[in-house]
Structures are given as structure tokens and as C-alpha cells.
Amino acid sequence: MSLALICLSHTPLMGFTEPAPGVRAEVEALLDRLRGFVAEFDPTLVVSFGPDHYNGFFYDLMPPFCLCLGARGVGDFDTQEGDFQVPEELASQLAQHVADRGVDIAISRAAELDHGAVQVPELLLGGIDRFPTLPVFVNGVAPPFVPMQRIRLLGEAVGDFLVGLDERVLVIGSGGLSHDPPVPRWASDTPQQHEFLLRGRHPTAQARQTRQQRTIDTGLAFARGEAEIADLNPDWDNAFLDVCASGDPGRFDAYRADEMTEVAGNSAHEVRSWVAAFSALRRAGAYRVVDRYYRAIPEWIAGFGCLTATTESEE
């Protein structure tokens, strides 16, 4: 067994809006390094924690997290549409292991997931069907949020399962950091939006296009300083990266959802994917951070960050 980790912000606006000069190249260089990291580690299995933004998980039934025994990408923002390669037997064993640990899991045998779960594996692995992958949905946009401790315990239970396998496991966390894109919200939206948040699966091409354009337009306005969304918060983001790098997942427990919304935006809760991923990694022993990147990228509505790490025994 050995474990490596990549946590990375996602943003579907990559490819739709152009950041300040040089930034795109900087991120491309980061992605090249990450692909090199994957090639060097040569994973035999991937565990991928990521959120959804009301493309697969809706308020008719919204779990705090869900182990996917089968999953497909819905193809929003031109991300890959189609099935993840999920090893079903191993996924069921993972579910049983986590349940035995007393973590109140949900499972899905037919999860639908959007760019939140698809973009990062697609960019880093060349597709969501290239490696045997255990996808784990972690709710990062739909209140109420369980205490961060529960996400840590989920990650630790997953990590303990991985430690018992004879595999090289790449653990991915997708999302964050501070950001407040125009994801529909129950609290602020109209009856029509409530209908969408309950029963919005499989929108028409036209409806998807309208929604995507709204996000693109918000990104452009935000870059001009004209959008009615929360600012990015680089200080908060860097402090969170420090906690991730500290090797002490217990420190995640101090994060409070209401404060996070306040200081880092309605989608900052996507860092829950990172919390799960780092908590899993730590179960394999002390870890070493290999790469760290951060830049606030308003055109992409993203406090855009990355950490990679390997367990020390991996040297």
C-alpha cells in the first residue's frame, strides 16, 4: 500500500473566460507538474472526493456525502460525459468498511456528477474512465452542512480501508477554495428555482446553456469588480492550505460552516473534499507536501489552490 494526494480547485470557467496575462500559462504549468506527479506515482487505484452543483444531487434527497458504487459524469461545461470506471466489488467493500466504522454513509449505484467531481480527474488522469476509481460525493454547496469533524471521520474511515489494500492509491480532493459563484440557493431563490433545486435533473440543452452563460457572465463581471458575489479571500485560503499541510487533520474540526460562508463565500464548503482527502492520507502515516500553489483568479471565480503530498514511506 502507498498513498499520494492531489487536492485542486476546480472551475468550469477554465476555457470559458480568460484570466489575467500569464495566469493561464501558470495554471497549465501546474497541471503539467500534476500529470508528472501522477505518472511518477503510477496509481493502481484512485479515490476521488468531489462536490456536485445541483446537476446530480438535488434537494429531493441531499446527503452530506455519498459513496458511489456506480457513477457517471453529466457533461456540464463540456466536461467528460459518461461512466466513471468504478470497481463495484471494491466500492461495496469500502461502503461496508465505512459503515462498520459507524459513519452514517449513503450509497448510490447510479450517481450523476458534474464538473465538481469530473474536471479534476479528467484533467489529471486523461479521463474518468482511465483508472479504477472510487468516487465519493461530498456535499459542498447545499446546506445544512454537518460539522467538519464528520467529514474528517469519513476521510479517516476511507483512509483505513485504503491502508489495508495492496494498491498504490491516488487520493483526489476537488473544490474550493474561497469563492461564491452563482450556484442556485434555496434560501435566496424563487419558487421556480425551488422547483429546479428539487427536480432539476437532466435539463434541456437550452436550460443548461442558460445556466452556464449566467456563470460565465458572472465571472466576467466579477473580474471587472461588478458582480454581486462575495470577494475571494486569499488570507483565508492560505490559512486553510497551512492547516492541510500541517499533518494534523484534527485542526479541521475548528472550521464552522456559518463562519466559512461569511468570510469565504457560499461555495467555500467545497473544501470539505480536501478535508476528507487529507484525513484519508494521514491514516497511512505522516505525509510530506510536494507541491503548493495558490492564486486568486476572479475571472474563474476561484481562490485557486493546489496541494500534493505523499506519505513519507513513499520516498
Ligand X SMILES: O=C(O)CCc1cccc(O)c1O
User: Which residues, 6+ apart, have CB-to-CB distance to 122 below 8 Å?
Assistant: 73, 79, 80, 128
By C-beta, is 42 or 226 nearer to ligand X?
Answer: 226
User: Which positions from 109 through 138 interact with ligand X, judged by CB under 6 A?
Assistant: 116
Smallest Cα–Cα separation from 196: which of 210, 186, 182?
A: 186
Of the candidates 12, 155, 159, 249, which one interacts with ligand X according to CB under 6 A?
12
What single-letter DSSP state applies at residue 20? S
Minimum distance between the CB of residue 186 and Fe ion, rounded to whole angstroms?
17
Minimum distance between the CB of residue 36 and Fe ion, rounded to whole angstroms?
25
**Half-sphere exposure for 128 (CA within 13 Å, toward CB):** 27
* Host H or E run for residue 71: strand 71-74
Catalytic residue, chosen from 10, 53, 97, 179, is 179
Cβ-based neighbour number of residue 82 at 10 Å = 13
Of the candidates 4, 5, 6, 11, which one interacts with ligand X according to CB under 6 A?
11
- Where do contacts with Fe ion occur on this chain (CB under 5 A)? 116
CB-count exposure of residue 165 (10 Å: 0-12, 13-18, 19+): middle
By C-beta, is 13 or 94 nearer to ligand X?
Answer: 13
Cell of 6: 492531489
Smallest Cα–Cα separation from 10: which of 173, 207, 250, 200?
A: 173
Give the C-alpha separation, 180 to 228, whole Å.
10
Question: Binding string to ligand X for residues 198 to 217, with x set by CB under 6 A, is what?
Answer: -----------------x--
Q: Is 179 a catalytic residue?
A: yes
Q: Is 269 a catalytic residue?
A: no
172 lies in the site for ligand X, by CB under 6 A: no
13 lies in the site for ligand X, by CB under 6 A: yes
Of the candidates 10, 97, 152, 282, which one interacts with ligand X according to CB under 6 A?
10
Q: Which stretch binds ligand X (CB under 6 A): 35-43, 130-138, 177-185, 243-251?
A: 177-185
Point out the residues that are catalytic. 115, 179
**Using CB under 6 A as the criterion, which residues of the chain lie in contact with ligand X when the complex forms?**
10-13, 53, 116, 179, 181, 183, 215, 267, 270, 301-302
